[in-house]
Amino acid sequence: MKDNNKILKISFIALIISMAIIGVGAFLAIGAFTREPTISIERTLYRVERIPSYNLTFLLEPNEIYETDVIQAAPSQPVYLSLVKLVIVNYTYAVSSGIASGSIRVATYLIHPDGWIKRFGETNIQINSSSASALIQLNINSTTELMARLSKQVMARSDLYTIRIVAIADTNIYISQYVRKDYTSHTIDLNILVGANKVALEGNQTTAIAYEEKTRRTEAAKLAGGITVETGRTIALAITGVGLALFTASMILRIVVGGAKRPDEILENKYSGIIVEIDKPTNLNKSTNIVYISKVDEMVKLSRLLEKPILKECLSRNKCEYYIVDHDITYRLKTDEL
């Protein structure tokens, strides 16, 4: 029975260890099973900004209104037609990085309020760098005279018309080893109001657009320590499985060993009729002819063969001895206290 106590102690320690192992496995499982096994990583291959822009400069007659003979076009500033000698339009096509290669066409049109259009001029340039410019000079007096002559042919009014400038760029933008196709059209209008003696600018002078190319790649997600989520899941299941197996084995062992009764308990429960309890100490330990019997059934068999009762002597509250006395031989039941 002393061995049983040792087994119970060992099983209890194993039970504690198994719970610790299960805790470690559960902790790792929480980290592994609450995350996706793979992650998607986005990487920017390139980013380039295409910047087409118009810059309009008005050359003026000597005047006291602006106190200068050169002004830049601005939506908030009126420009008087009678003071304008020349309009210089500078169109620039530029990229923020890399090189643009291709062609740019800048065309000028006269547009009548009735809807008909007359091409007035065209400029073509090639680009093989980060920027290129086209310069156009517009004589407002000449365009007004041309519109008056054309309008007279159809007996239409000519005091209101539009000068439209359209830039079309057809390029390839090279950024490192990448190529981006770009086809863009950029338009601005100069509304000529002859009766009101004004020139009004309409349209965005700059239209910047950013191009960005990204790529995604998938890789295994990792936990602390550099192990992948899949590996972490496998380890978590293995650790938890070992812990559960150890826990189950410990519990079964405790149930089996804990359920085993001591020999004296078996004797008291099954054969109480042949047990005689005595009060006077017999000094059994001083006897030299002591034969130890380890099995209850053998002790009972001996009692019946010798036709003698099994004596029960309680030395203390929790310690009792069971024996049979036959002349000078004492047959003693071996319990876990011995």
Q: Which residues in the chain belong to E strands, given as ranges?
A: 38-60, 70-72, 79-80, 84-95, 99-111, 117-129, 131-138, 160-175, 178-193, 198-202, 209-220, 275-278, 290-293, 310-316, 319-326, 329-333
Residue 256 — very low, low, confident or very high, per pLDDT cuts 50/70/90?
Answer: confident
Residues 91 and 134 sit within 8 Å (Cβ to Cβ): yes
Place of tokens 């078996």: 266
Minimum mean pLDDT among 29-43, 120-134, 170-184: which range? 29-43
Q: How many residues does the chain have?
A: 338
Bridge-based pairing of strands 275-278 and 310-316 is parallel
Sign of CA dihedral 140, 143, 147, 149: positive
CA atoms within 13 A on the CB side of 176: 6
Return the structure tokens found at 242: 């070992």
pLDDT in tens, 5-19: 677 788 788 888 988
Residues 223 and 31 sit within 8 Å (Cβ to Cβ): yes
Task: Name the residue ranges covered by the structural domains of the chain.
Answer: 2-37+221-259, 45-215, 264-333
> Candidates 1.10.860, 2.40.420, 3.40.50, 2.60.40; correct CATH number of 45-215?
2.60.40
pLDDT in tens, 103-147: 999 999 999 999 999 998 999 999 999 999 999 999 999 999 999
Residues whose CB falls within 8 Å of the CB of residue 38, separated by 6 or more in sequence, listed in order: 218, 219, 220, 221, 229
